[in-house]
Structure formats: structure tokens, C-alpha cells
Structure 1
Amino acid sequence: MSGQTKMIFITSDEDLVHKISATKSTNTRIIDLDDHEQMSLTINDKNMINLALAELSELNSTDHNQSKEKEISKKSIDLICKICGDRAIGFNYDVLSCASCKAFFRRNAYQQLEELKCLTGNNECLVIHGINRKCHRCRLSRCFMMGMRKDFIVKKETKQKKKKYLEENLLNTNFIPQLLLDLDNDNNNIELNEMEETVLDTLSTEEWITIENLQRLFISTMQDDNAHKFSINITDRDSAIMSCLNYADQTALRFINFFRQINEFEGLNSDDRFILMKYNLLPVFPIYKCFNYKPDNHYLSSKENEETRRFDQFFMLFDETYDLRDTLVKLVISLVQLTNQDAMILCFVLIILVFSQGLLMNEEEPILKDSLAVNRIQSYYIKLFWNYLVNKWDEQQACKYFIQLLNMVFRLQSTSKIFQNFLRNHLTSRNSVDQITPLMQSVLNIS
């Protein structure tokens, strides 16, 4: 036995599974992770699967890795204006665009389309670089169609407030561009409005590309049209807990899939990746609930509907924990109100929290092998998030929003701790730990 080597393969390739099934020896075991009846494994089997989960870089095929590189680590793209096709100068008002379309949108964004007259009367004029006379109505319509946001336009009064703020704090800051020092220089040929926008532009083109890729990744990974339905088995207490944890297992896999496509996470020590997933996933579950929340028919809604009634029945099985139901509902609704279900804000909060050491406040959490690398990654995303908020609003509003988010993080921590204790106590008291997936055993810290 000492000369044997144990290996574990995790794959979704059905052809490979069939080949292994046809040639497997008596010591080979094939486990369907979607069939939870097979999950009553021995302790050694569980440890092997947990170890495999730690080796997240081996979960997907080469093809997946290639698509991941295209998705998130894309550093150079053809900078083409999405409005007219000219060379783009960066992301302006949330869309990759040229200097001309940027200036056009800034001047005309608040005009009513209905009040503008189309040159041809068909509202289908071509908006192409090189055409001397572009239809104002059709050009503005295309700007909105491609996603330009007029709420991103910094008003004159806000610019003046920002300028004053920067000037007053000049001696205390090291990041103010040299342009600010040249505001009164007669030799400066840059138009004042354009110069102010340059001074206040807190995001580079590369950062906008990163943000756009992250947003696309977050939406594609987390969007679930059925997440609002409460499909948990509420026949009895044990069935309710098991089906709830099986559903949570699928949500945890969504989070793992999301982080597997972030290069900084993949570059970490394998043990550190495992620790971050094991100890930080539970507090971020409400982010998934928030993003998929639908006020009218969601089971966490404050309005009574069929889903909320089933949710109430679930907690009626546990008389002593009914208060936890109200805590969860209030938490998700507060998160919805604070973030307005903005995918980019939720994405940043998710990343920053998962890269936080000690988020679950568990004394048994081991020390990271390379905590400095984790801190660097978290600092990068905090700075990027801050610049995104400043670009969206202003410094004062961004600061207030950060404080509100911190308060929300404390609520996420305390609620997840309560919910974790509730589930752990129930599972251990009924000797049901072996009936849940190894992944959920890790997330609940009972493996």
C-alpha cells in the first residue's frame, strides 16, 4: 500500500468519465458531486476532496483558462469609439469613446430627444467618423443606446467644489497632478474645462477596462433568474436544512467560479486560496441574494407573496430561530437600498471582503502563507473602488458611502456568525454533518 499513489480528478467531461468507468479497477471510485446521496464519504475521501478544492487552479481545462485570459486579463484592446468608430481616448461617461463624442455628449446629454429634429426624418442617420455633418438627434440617441450615462457628467458647481477641495488640501496630498499647480499659468494652452476634467479624472483607461471586465464577469456568474424562488423542501426540519445547504452549495460554487477567473486570486499560494474560500464565503452570501433580489416576488421581500409564505414556513420549523428570519430579510433589503443593486459596487464589495483576513472572526482560522500578497491585492481593489466612487460622485459623497458600507460589513459579519452557529448546532446535534457536501462543511467550518 505504501507504494501506491492516490489521485483525484474533478471533471465535467462526460466522455472522460465514461472511459474511466469502462477501465476502472476495484480501487477506483467515481462520485457524482450533483448526487448528494453519494456524499456520505469516509473521512479520507472528504479530506482529499477538500484538498482538491484548495487546488482551484486544476479545476478547469486549458480551454477554460484561455477563455479566462480573454475575459479578465485583457490588457490591450483596440480603442475604437463605440459611437462613431473613431480612435477612442478612453472611457468617457461609462463608454469607450473618442474626444469628439465625449465633448458632444457632455454638451447635449440633458437635451430631450423628442425636441431634436432628425436631419432625414427617419431617426436612422449614420453616425460615422468622417461625416462632416452628423445628425444631432441620431448621434445623441446612439450615445444613450451604447450606454453613455448623463449622471456621470460632473456639473460645473461640483467641479468648483472639487477644485476648491483639492487646492485646500494641496499640502496634505501627494497625488494631485502637476496641472493643478499650473491653473494660473498664462502659458497653459489647455482649455480650462478640459483641464479640470483631466485633474479630476481618477481612472485610467486600463482601470476602466478592468472595471468593465469585472462587471461583465460578475453579472454572467451571479445572475440567476430563479434565485428569487424559495424551492427548499419544507416537509420537516431535517429535509429543510439539507435542501437549504444543497442550494447554498450551488451558490458557493458560483463564488468559486468567479474568483477562479481573477488573475490575482489564481496567483496566490494554493493554501491561501483555500483559506480565503473556506473562511470568507459565508459572510458574502447576502451579496448574491441582493443582486438577484426582486421586490415583488422574492422570498426575502418585505411584501407578502407565495415565496415569503414558504420562507416563513421554513423558519416555523425552528421556533427558537424565527428572529433570524427578520434579521436576514432586513439585511438583504438594507444592502439592496445601499447599493441600488449596482453590479459594479457589489462586485467590488465581494472582492474586497473575500480578500479580508479574519472576516468570519474565527479563532481557528490559520495564518496565511503570504499575507502580504493578499494585502496588496485587497489594497489595489480598495483603491480602484475608491477612484470609481470618486469618479461617479465626489470625494465627500464617496467618503460617506464608504462609512455606510463599513457599517454594512459589520452587519454581514454578525449575521453570518449567528447563521453559522445555528446550522452547525443543528447538524452536529443530529449527527447530520456527513450528509452535506464537503464544500459546505468547509464553508461552515465543521469539516
Structure 2
Amino acid sequence: MIYNSFVFYDCQITFQTRRNCSACRLAKCFNGGMQRDRLLTAEQKAAKRRQIEENRNLALHSNPKTNEQEFQLSSSTFLDDLLMLTETDILLTDFTDLLSIQPQQTLLSPEDLQRVETISRFYQNRIELAARNGLPWDPSMHAQTFLDVLNSHSVSVMRLLSFFKQIPEFNQLNVDDKVTLIKYNLLTVLGINSALSYNIETKQLIESESDLPSNVQYFRVLHGYNISMQTTKIFGAFLNIAKQDRKIIELTVIILILTKGFSVISDHDEPLLNDIMSAHHVQNDYTELLWKYMETTHGYKKTVDLFSELIRHVISWQVVYEQMRNNILRTLSPEDIGELVPIMKSTLRIS
């Protein structure tokens, strides 16, 4: 093509051919939405790098289990584009050898870091707060029957609710909206939350030293081999993420409890939220906080891998948990339902 006496070749730019023609590659990046004002001078780029390292050092100090060798300079795209990475996005992140391009940084500020630490403290406080408010089941008592096992789960439910009640933004939501979000999201979130209490060495699920381990003897009998294997595989992925960094799961459960229409299985009985935008804004805020924390602590590349893995397994977990819920409902007799503690009736969405 010829424009103003300059010759431009309309080359096909792919990930494999991106280095063949720098001009067409740059043109494609601009056509894809890259902004010229995001090109930085060498001095600006160095300043950005220093700021990244300062914030990462703060995060490293608060999270000593993180391997310092995993830290790397960020080349992040916008968070909203994370799940829609296009060919152009890939080209942008690998274009720094041609120009001094530094996409928008998603840095964790000291205030953000303090917020993450406060959330972790809220999570630790959940057990004491739930006990103070009264539990519907004694966690030190052995659950012998299947009904006992279901009722014993009410302890974990109450503790998780005590965690959410400490989150200021969640408390400020419409009261009826909070009830809806908890009723339709809590069961799935409860399973993911369990990854923070599972002891890999003893293979026991126990939240507090004073608790008896959860009774899982009915699990395979009730749900069958296939669901048991699926659950083990997906839960193992959450365990792996929690082992690397517990704070990721702590932030994730907040994000998931705020999701309207969370279940991949359509539930036509789920009411609309009275103020859906408020819930949406809070969820976006915590999603951004999670992304910034992960990128600052673990680097951009590992964050993309972890975030993608997290989303993939959350979706799979929803499907499996809906099947498990249906199995439970088919097993319960009217007499059993009458003996369920109220919080478990609500969690299982039994009217």
C-alpha cells in the first residue's frame, strides 16, 4: 500500500511472524488500541522500575514465603483485558525490544498492602467472632450420621460469614442483596475456602485446634467415584494456590461471594439485586486489589498463569458443587430436612 509517497507493507503479523516486519507490527499495535502517550523515555522507565521494586520489597517483607527469584518487572495490560488476551495484546507485551514501551502499571501501594494485611487479620478473627456469636454445632463433637455431617458444616458457614461481616464494603451493601448473594453463592465459596484449612500432611480438614477433623466417610458413597475424582483434582489446584500464597484465596472468596448469578447452572429463582451496581463496584475493587497484589508479589507472568488457573478451576468447581448439592437434596428425607439447622437449609437453598 502507498500513502503520501511512503510504502507500507500489509504484512500478516502473528506471534510467530512478529519479528519479520517491525513497521507493520507497530502499526498493528496502534490499530489494536496502544496509545502513543504510553511510550516512556529511558528515565521514566527506570523510575517506574524503581517504584515497582520498592513496592515488591514491601510485599516480600509481609509475605516471607515468596521466592525472591520469582520477582520480575511487570509488563501488565489492563485488568479488564486479562481474560480477553488478543494477538495484539501478546505483541504489545513483547514489543519492548523495539521501543521503550511500558504499559500501565498495576502497582500495589503501601495503602493497598495494608488493606491486604487487614483482610488476612479479618480472616484469622473469623473463628473467635463466630464462637462469640454462638455456633449451631459443637465443632469438638464427632459427627456420626450423614445428617450430623451436614449440620457440622454449619460451623464453617458461620465462620465464613463472620469473615464477610468484617469487610466494610460488604456491610454497606443493601441488606436484601447481601442475603441473596450469600444464599446463592456461599455453598460454592465454602468449598474453595476449605483449601485454607486442609492439612496436606494429615489429609484432614480442620479449621481450629479445638475442632475435630471433618468427617468425610460419606463423601464417596454419596457422590460416586467420578465426582469424587473431579473434586479431588480441582480441590488440589486450590490447595496448590493456597500453599503458594494464602492471601490469594482470602481475596478470591470475597470476590466470589459478590458475584451475581455466580452459578453456571441457571437458577431462575435467584432474585435480582436491588442495587446491582454497588455490588459490581465492590467486586471490581477487590478484583483489582487481587490482581495488583498478585502481580506485585509474584510478577506479571506468574500472575497471568495463576489468575487463569484460578478462574478455570472456579468454573469447574461450580459445576461439580451443583451436582453435589443435587445429590444431597435427593438423599435427604422430609424428616432429615426438618432436623437441619436453619443456616444449612439456607446454604443448600432449601425453602
TM-based fold match above 0.5: yes
Is 1:359 matched up with 2:272?
A: no
- 1:430 Cα offset (Å): 4.2
| Match in the other structure for 1:272 | 177
Contact 2:173 2:278 in 1 (8 A): yes
Instruction: Tell me the TM-score normalised to structure 1 length.
Output: 0.52
Aligned-residue sequence identity (percent) comes to 23
Contact 2:241 2:249 in 1 (8 A): no
- Give SS of 1:208's match: helix
- Give SS of 2:199's match: coil
CA distance in 1, matches of 2:65, 2:237: 25
| Match in the other structure for 1:441 | 345
Amino acid at match of 1:151: N
Decide which moves more: 333-342 or 401-410. Answer: 333-342
CA distance in 1, matches of 2:113, 2:304: 21
Q: Relative contact order (alpha carbons < 8 A, sep ≥ 6): 1 or 2 greater?
A: 2
Could you list the per-position Cα deviations for residues 98-117 of structure 1 after superposition, in whole angstroms to 9, with x for gaps in the alignment?
xxxxxxxx9xxxxxxxxxxx
CA distance in 2, matches of 1:171, 1:316: 54
CA distance in 2, matches of 1:350, 1:422: 24
CA distance in 2, matches of 1:370, 1:272: 7
Is 1:284 matched up with 2:189?
A: yes
| Match in the other structure for 2:275 | 370
Is 1:426 matched up with 2:334?
A: no
CA distance in 2, matches of 1:150, 1:297: 24
| Match in the other structure for 1:232 | 143
| Match in the other structure for 2:252 | 349
Amino acid at match of 1:326: M
Is 1:380 matched up with 2:285?
A: yes
Q: RMSD of the alignment, in Å?
A: 3.7
- CA pair 267-316 structure 1, distance change in 2 beyond 3 A: closer
Contact 2:73 2:300 in 1 (8 A): no
Q: Structure 1: any 5+ residue segments left out of the alignment?
A: 1-89, 96-105, 107-143, 177-200, 234-238, 301-306
| Match in the other structure for 1:28 | none
CA distance in 2, matches of 1:273, 1:316: 33
- 1:419 Cα offset (Å): 1.2
| Match in the other structure for 2:57 | 93
CA distance in 2, matches of 1:352, 1:418: 23
CA distance in 1, matches of 2:187, 2:193: 11
- 1:376 Cα offset (Å): 0.3
Contact 1:218 1:343 in 2 (8 A): no
CA distance in 1, matches of 2:172, 2:299: 34
- 1:317 Cα offset (Å): 5.4
| Match in the other structure for 1:400 | 305
- 1:92 Cα offset (Å): 5.7
CA distance in 1, matches of 2:240, 2:255: 20
- CA pair 417-293 structure 1, distance change in 2 beyond 3 A: same
Is 1:332 matched up with 2:235?
A: yes
| Match in the other structure for 1:295 | 200
- 1:147 Cα offset (Å): 6.3
Amino acid at match of 1:364: D
**Total equivalences in the alignment:** 266
Q: Structure 2: any 5+ residue segments left out of the alignment?
A: 1-53, 77-91, 131-138, 206-211
- 1:393 Cα offset (Å): 2.4
| Match in the other structure for 1:250 | 155
Amino acid at match of 1:275: T
- 1:216 Cα offset (Å): 1.7
- Give SS of 1:391's match: helix
- 1:159 Cα offset (Å): 3.4
Contact 1:229 1:299 in 2 (8 A): no
- 1:293 Cα offset (Å): 1.2
Amino acid at match of 1:232: A
- 1:244 Cα offset (Å): 1.4
- CA pair 150-423 structure 1, distance change in 2 beyond 3 A: closer
- 1:371 Cα offset (Å): 0.5
Is 1:259 matched up with 2:159?
A: no
- CA pair 214-293 structure 1, distance change in 2 beyond 3 A: same
- CA pair 210-167 structure 1, distance change in 2 beyond 3 A: farther
Amino acid at match of 2:329: R
- Give SS of 2:67's match: helix
Is 1:215 matched up with 2:120?
A: yes
- 1:406 Cα offset (Å): 1.0
Contact 2:74 2:300 in 1 (8 A): no
The structure whose Rg is larger is 1
Contact 1:260 1:266 in 2 (8 A): yes
Amino acid at match of 1:372: M
Amino acid at match of 1:443: T
CA distance in 2, matches of 1:246, 1:309: 11
| Match in the other structure for 2:320 | 415
Contact 2:119 2:250 in 1 (8 A): yes
CA distance in 2, matches of 1:349, 1:338: 11
| Match in the other structure for 2:28 | none
